[in-house]
Amino acid sequence: MKLYFKPGACSMASHIVLNELKESFELESVNTEQGVTDSGADYKQINPKGYVPTLRLEAGELITENIAILQYLGDKDPQNKLTPQYSSTGRIRLLELLSFASSELHKTFSPFFSSVEMDEKARASAESKIATRVDFINDRLEQNSPYLLGENFSVADAYFFVILNWSGFINFDLSPWPRVQSYVARIKSRPSVIKAMTREGLIATEAA
Ligand SMILES: N[C@@H](CCC(=O)N[C@@H](CS)C(=O)NCC(=O)O)C(=O)O
């Protein structure tokens, strides 16, 4: 398998999950602005949508979209319990969380990374939306801990971690939600996360 990624972007969630698995995999970084991969390939030929992540399977098949890739990877080894079984209530809860992460949380952070600068009003409005979404995560963690689905770290936690970790890059203060801050710190200490962050250049030394 090969993951096309951009350092620190949402693709890091799939990178983390790949590190949780025992299978070997390759990584190739993508310059999405220029539409080229690290080896010089035209990224539009790999993923016409132009954004990361893309997962290439051994047989050459390509999977796009965070929530599809995360579930594909999580289902690979049921013993890892990264995804609850299909048709279970847990699986619906997972899908509910992944949809929320993708269309509500992730996309509220996106304008902060755009080349178009946000004015104060737009920033305040986006921050207020992020706050209501973090409220939800906080409530969820009050009922389910240490992870969003309860006892087991799931692919949803990898995705939520990557997005919540962006708070530091956009100066969004998570201290009003200590429960969420501890959740982020807990996930950040996982060897799979340290390894992914180190490889993507987000932390300087590999502590794992
Ligand atoms: N719906 C897509 C969104 C992916 C996405 O937003 N990727 C961002 C990085 S987090 C990206 O590649 N942005 C660069 C671009 O759009 O040119 C998914 O969930 O996979």
Report all structural domains of the chain as residue ranges with CATH numbers, in order of start.
2-79+194-199 (3.40.30.10), 83-190 (1.20.1050.10)
Protein residues with CB under 6 Å of any ligand 1 atom: 6, 9-10, 32, 50-53, 65-66, 102
How far apart are the C-alpha atoms of 66 and 48, rounded to whole Å? 15
Question: Residue 180: which residues within 8 A CB-CB, separation 6 or more?
Answer: 134, 137, 138, 141, 164, 174
pTM of the model: 0.96
208 — pLDDT class (breaks 50, 70, 90): very low
Residue nearest to atom 2 of ligand 1 (CA): 65
Chain segment 103-149, per-residue pLDDT in tens = 999 999 999 999 899 999 999 999 999 999 999 999 999 999 999 99
- Residue written as token pair 């939800």: 136
How much distance in Å is there from the Cα of 157 to the middle of ligand 1? 18
How much distance in Å is there from the Cα of 143 to the middle of ligand 1? 30
Residue 148 tokens read as 């969003």
Residue nearest to atom 14 of ligand 1 (CA): 51
Three-state SS for the chain is: CEEEECCCCCCHHHHHHHHHCCCCCEEEEEECCCCEECCCCEHHHHCCCCCCCEEECCCCCEEECHHHHHHHHHCCCHHHCCCCCCCCHHHHHHHHHHHHHHHHHHHHHHHHHCCCCCCHHHHHHHHHHHHHHHHHHHHHHHHCCCECCECCCCHHHHHHHHHHHCHHHHCCCCCCCHHHHHHHHHHHCCHHHHHHHHHCCCCCCCCC
Chain segment 40-71, per-residue pLDDT in tens = 999 999 999 999 999 999 999 999 999 999 99
